[in-house]
Amino acid sequence: MTIAMAGGVSLATQGTAQASPGAVTARAAADTCSYPYVCLFKNGVKIGQFKDVTSTWQNLPSRPSGPNLVVQNTRNDDVAYIRWSGGSTTCIPPKRSFTVSTGTLTGIRISSAATC
């Protein structure tokens, strides 16, 4: 598994991993989202995570789309906004997940606001 970091964004790319018996594999470790991240999952596999509160949008170069896309906000008191390809936005409250059944995402922004 390859992890690339750029401005608080880490994107995972699927690869092959070998582990010794009893070790947690790279894929199993990547399929969770812990505080204080906002993570994107496609078909149950984490494809991105964001941590930084920003005043501007963080672009999603992969432009993930539904179905089977979930955005999980693990933050305790910060909301997360997702931006759709048409320009509209959706707010995800703290400690909540949002399932994208159709549509394409182009950006994400974590705000220090506690409510949407």
pTM of the model: 0.73
The pLDDT score that the predictor gives to residue 32 is 87
Query: In this structure, is residue 45 part of a structural domain?
Result: yes
How far apart, in whole angstroms, are the C-alpha atoms of residue 100 and residue 114? 22
Query: In this structure, is residue 32 part of a structural domain?
Result: yes
Query: In this structure, is residue 116 part of a structural domain?
Result: no
Query: In this structure, is residue 103 part of a structural domain?
Result: yes
Number of domains in the chain: 1
How far apart, in whole angstroms, are the C-alpha atoms of residue 95 and residue 75? 6
Query: In this structure, is residue 85 part of a structural domain?
Result: yes
- Mind listing the pLDDT tens digit for each residue in 43-96? 999 999 999 999 999 999 899 999 999 999 999 999 999 999 999 999 999 999
- Mind listing the pLDDT tens digit for each residue in 4-25? 333 333 333 333 233 333 333 3
Range of the structural domain that residue 54 is part of: 2-111
